[in-house]
Amino acid sequence: MVVDVEALRTRYVDALDALEHASGRTVAALEDARRSRVVARDFVRHGRPLAELEREIEMQPLRASVSDALSDFERARHETQRLLFQLLHAEGQTLAEIGRTFGISRQLVSRLVNEPDPVRV
């Protein structure tokens, strides 16, 4: 099987860009959650009823935002790692060398290198 290294390089750069975007979104969602925890802590410290907290914080969208951001980040991280391993392998590194470099088993590297591209919807 012939591997188009230049195409892999392009896909890897695109994956890094997607990971950067997902990372920024995750940081923003976690920062929103941190600010909400500060508000909740102040409510408790000042003896305010927590039932009033829902007027200050929209809990459901906050939770969904954090969950979605973390899921997107994990998908982007996995895709970036998969493409990196494929690229390293296409450039001549063995699966064992890649595994040693990243501190994972050769079997896991093999699984990621041979994992099919995700289906785009």
**pLDDT tens digits for range 81-92:** 999 999 999 999
User: Residues 12, 87: contact at Cβ < 8 Å?
Assistant: yes
List the one residue out of 29, 15, 30 whose CA is nearest residue 75. Answer: 15
The whole-model pTM stands at 0.87
Confidence check: pLDDT of 100 > 80: yes
**pLDDT tens digits for range 23-71:** 999 999 999 999 999 999 999 999 999 889 999 999 999 999 999 999 9
User: Residues 36, 62: contact at Cβ < 8 Å?
Assistant: yes
Please give the Cα distance from 95 to 67 (Å, whole number).
33
Looking at the chain, the number of H-run helices and the number of E-run strands are: 5, 0
Write the CB contacts of 62 (distance below 8 Å, at least 6 apart in sequence): 32, 33, 36
* 90-103 as b/e: b if 16+ CB within 10 A: beebebeebbeeee
Quote the pLDDT of residue 2. 72
**pLDDT tens digits for range 71-81:** 999 999 999 99
Domain limits, the chain = 5-114
Quote the pLDDT of residue 57. 93
